[in-house]
Structures are given as C-alpha cells and as structure tokens.
C-alpha cells in the first residue's frame, strides 16, 4: 500500500465525521480533503492539525466541492 493510501486510511476516520468534510481521497500526489463549503480559519487549522497528528508530513490540499450525493 502506498504512503498516501495509508495516510488516507489514517485520517478519513477523523475527518469524515466533521459536518463540512464531504470526502477524503488522493489527487495529484497529495491527500485531498473535499469540503462542502468555504472553511473558517479555525476549521482549516483543525483539518491541518488532524492530518499532521494522524499522518505527519503528508502533503494535502483542501478542495471546496459542495456536498457529494447520489445522482
């Protein structure tokens, strides 16, 4: 399993319960955190702190996508 796949597995259990996180994936060689709306500075800091705690030194990006759902 790749380092990013392992990092995804480590952080998604902590991030997915947050009401503003729509998904966690891998995109462009980074962990991708998909959020449903623009985040406050505190929320951004919480995402970064969670990733750092669960998967230190993992590159990530936060992408505002809206809610994911069935089509």
Nearest CA to 15 out of 57, 47, 42, 39 is that of 47
Cα atoms in the Cβ-side hemisphere of radius 13 Å centred on 64: 6
For residue 14, give its domain range. Answer: 3-64
Q: Output 51 or 69, whichever has higher pLDDT.
A: 51
Identify whether the C-beta of residue 51 lies closer than 8 Å to the C-beta of residue 59. Answer: no
Q: Is the pLDDT of residue 28 over 70?
A: yes
Q: Is the pLDDT of residue 8 over 60?
A: yes
Note the pLDDT of residue 68. Answer: 64
Mean pLDDT (whole number) for 21-42: 95
CATH of the domain at 57: 3.30.1340
Note the pLDDT of residue 2. Answer: 79
Nearest CA to 46 out of 9, 15, 3, 12 is that of 15
The answer to whether position 70 is within a domain reads no
């Amino acid at each position: 399993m790749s380092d990013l796949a392992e990092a995804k597995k480590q952080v998604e259990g902590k991030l997915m319960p947050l009401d503003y996180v729509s998904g966690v994936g891998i995109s462009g060689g980074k962990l991708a955190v998909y959020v449903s709306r623009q985040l406050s500075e505190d929320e951004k800091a919480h995402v970064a702190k969670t990733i750092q705690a669960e998967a230190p030194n993992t590159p990530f990006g936060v992408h505002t996508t809206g809610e994911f759902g069935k089509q």
